[in-house]
Amino acid sequence: MNTGSSELNTSGNTQSQTRSGFVAIVGKPNVGKSTLLNSMLGVKVAPISPKPQTSRRGVRGIYSTPEEQIVFVDTPGLHRPKDALGKYMNGEVHSALADVDVILWVVDLRHPPADEDELVARIVRDLPKPLVLVGNKLDAAKYPDEALRLYAAQLEGRTGDTQQVMLSAQNDPGATAELRASVLALLPENPFFFPVGAASDQSREDWAAEIIREEAMKRLRDEIPYAIATRVTSWTERQDGLQRIEAELVVEKQSHKGIVIGQGGKQLRDIGQAARKQLEVFLSKHIYLGLEVIVIPNWRADQEALRELGYE
C-alpha cells in the first residue's frame, strides 16, 4: 500500500499526492449504517428511519478535502433473501464489496452477535481488504467491551488489516471524524474519482423520493413494514422559483392504499407535509409536493416492477 507522503519531484518542489478510494459500510439492518454515513459526511444523504431495512439503494456519499476523497458505498442491510427484493439487496452487498478499498463493518454494541451478524462476518472475514469493526450505539450499550470482543471473535483467522473502534454515530461527531481520519489513512494514493464539490451521485429525483419514503416509513412502520416504494414522476420549476414535485407512493395491495391515504386523507397529507418541510430545508426553496398512491400488486417479487422502480 502507498504511504501517501509528499514526494519530491525532479525540480525539487514538493508535490502533494491525493488519496482517494471507495469505502463500503456493511452490517445487519438497523445497526446505524446510514447514521454513520451521514455523520462522516456532515450532510444528510441516505435515509434514516427507525425501521430496519430502509436503505434499499446503494446510495453513495462523497467526502472531499483538497487532498483526500472518500466515496462511500452505503450498502443495504444484509439479510437472508426471502423474495426478489431480498436477492437484489444481497447482490448489492456483494457487488459493493468486490470493488472497495476499505470495509466498515458496523455492529450494535447493545446486543451480542446474532445470526445475521455471523452472516456478514462470514463474508467480510475472507476479503483481503482493510476492515474496521465499528461498534456503534456506545451511548446505549451496557457491556460494550464484552460485546465488541464477541464481534471481533467472529473475525478470527482474518488475514487482512483489521481495526476496531467503539462510538456513537448518532451523537459523537468527534468520534466519527476520528474514524474518518483512520479510513483516509487506509486509502491508496489515487486521483479523485469525483469533482471536489460532489456530495452524492444520486439524482435529485431519487434523493427526494427517498426523503418521501423515509417520512412514509416513519408513520406506517407497523401497518406496512417494507412494502412501499416511492418515485418522483415530475419536477418542474416555476418562474418565481417554486419547485413543483409530483411523486408516487407504490404499495402492493389495494388495502394498503387506504392505510397510506388514511382517514379523510390525513395520513398522506402528514407524509407530504413532513417531506415537503425536509426538502425545503435542504433546497432553501419553496416546494409544492403532490403525492399519489398507486398499487402494483406484489411489486417486491416482480422483477419487472423492481426494474421500473429503480431497484436494478
Ligand X SMILES: Nc1nc2c(ncn2[C@@H]2O[C@H](COP(=O)(O)OP(=O)(O)OP(=O)(O)O)[C@@H](O)[C@H]2O)c(=O)[nH]1
Q: What are phi and psi of 114, to 5 degrees?
A: -115, 180
Task: Determine, following the binding rule CB under 6 A, whether residue 90 of this chain makes contact with ligand X.
Answer: no
Candidate ranges 5-13, 64-72, 134-142, 274-282; the one touching ligand X (CB under 6 A): 134-142
The CB-of-53 to ligand X minimum distance in angstroms stands at 4
CB atoms within 10 A of CB 232: 19
Q: Give the one residue of 18, 123, 125, 139 binding ligand X; rule: CB under 6 A.
A: 139
Within 126-250, residue ranges assigned H as helices are 144-153, 173-186, 204-220
> In the stretch 153-192, what mask flags binding to ligand X with x, by CB under 6 A?
---------------xxx----------------------
Task: Determine, following the binding rule CB under 6 A, whether residue 29 of this chain makes contact with ligand X.
Answer: yes
Question: How are strands ordered across the β-sheet holding 102-108?
Answer: 59-64, 68-74, 19-26, 102-108, 131-136, 162-166
Candidate ranges 43-51, 86-94, 261-269, 291-299; the one touching ligand X (CB under 6 A): 43-51
User: For ligand X, which is the closer residue by CB, 77 or 272?
Assistant: 77
Cα distances (angstroms) measured from residue 164 to each of 7, 102, 177, 269: 31, 13, 15, 45
The CB-of-219 to ligand X minimum distance in angstroms stands at 15
2: its cell numbers = 502507498
Task: Determine, following the binding rule CB under 6 A, whether residue 57 of this chain makes contact with ligand X.
Answer: no
Cα distances (angstroms) measured from residue 84 to each of 77, 120, 299: 15, 20, 9
Establish whether 142 is an annotated binding residue: no
Task: Determine, following the binding rule CB under 6 A, whether residue 48 of this chain makes contact with ligand X.
Answer: yes
Establish whether 138 is an annotated binding residue: yes
Q: Give the one residue of 4, 45, 49, 243 binding ligand X; rule: CB under 6 A.
A: 49
User: For ligand X, which is the closer residue by CB, 140 or 181?
Assistant: 140
Amino acid letter, residue 164: Q
User: For ligand X, which is the closer residue by CB, 36 or 245?
Assistant: 36
User: For ligand X, which is the closer residue by CB, 122 or 285?
Assistant: 122
Task: Determine, following the binding rule CB under 6 A, whether residue 31 of this chain makes contact with ligand X.
Answer: yes
Establish whether 230 is an annotated binding residue: no
The CB-of-34 to ligand X minimum distance in angstroms stands at 3
211: its cell numbers = 426523503
Torsion of CA 188, 64, 170, 46, to 10 degrees: -100
- 3-state SS of 83-150 is CHHHHHHHHHHHHHHHCCCEEEEEEECCCCCCHHHHHHHHHHHCCCCCEEEEEECHHHCCCHHHHHHH
Contact residues toward ligand X (CB under 6 A) are 27, 29-35, 48-50, 52-55, 77, 136-137, 139-140, 168-170
> Which residues participate in the annotated binding site for GTP?
27-34, 74-78, 136-139
